[in-house]
């Protein structure tokens, strides 16, 4: 079980990697407007209800708007033993290409 905060430029190491799940914790409307490639949308409020999805992944990478909610999410899920990263600064710090839809 581990939890680490990473800089936004480190997210490129995880995009599209097998056994890694990038999770956008924002609401669905914000996710549709633009998200990090390969990210799935699970709003923070629904995270606990979807934790079974994480079982097939070795690494979870969380992000939100500015980074505060992703820290809370990682802290909340530590008790389940997942390896997690939280992106410092959230999507507002991300300067890469966004996917829409």
Q: Which domain holds residue 72?
A: 2-93
Other Cβ atoms within 10 Å of 42 Cβ, number? 23
pLDDT tens figures, 4-48: 999 999 999 999 999 999 999 999 999 999 999 999 999 999 999
Assigned domain for 100 exists: no
pLDDT of the residue at 1: 55
Assigned domain for 25 exists: yes
Supply the CATH number for residue 58's domain: 3.40.250.10
pLDDT of the residue at 78: 85
Assigned domain for 99 exists: no
Q: Specify the pTM.
A: 0.94
Assigned domain for 98 exists: no
Q: Which strands sit side by side in the sheet containing 40-41, from one edge to the other?
A: 2-6, 83-87, 59-63, 20-24, 40-41
Assigned domain for 74 exists: yes
Assigned domain for 70 exists: yes
Cβ atoms 53, 18 nearer than 8 A = no
Cβ atoms 87, 6 nearer than 8 A = yes
Structural domains counted in the chain: 1
């Amino acid at each position: 079980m581990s939890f680490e905060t990473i800089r936004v430029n480190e997210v490129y190491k995880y995009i599209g990697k097998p056994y890694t799940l990038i999770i956008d914790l924002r609401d669905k409307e914000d996710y549709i407007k633009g998200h990090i490639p390969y990210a799935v949308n699970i709003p923070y409020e629904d995270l606990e209800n979807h934790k079974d999805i994480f079982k097939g992944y070795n690494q979870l990478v969380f992000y939100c708007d500015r980074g505060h909610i992703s820290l809370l999410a990682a802290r909340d899920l530590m008790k389940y033993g997942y390896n997690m990263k939280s992106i410092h600064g959230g999507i507002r710090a991300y300067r890469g290409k966004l996917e829409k839809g």
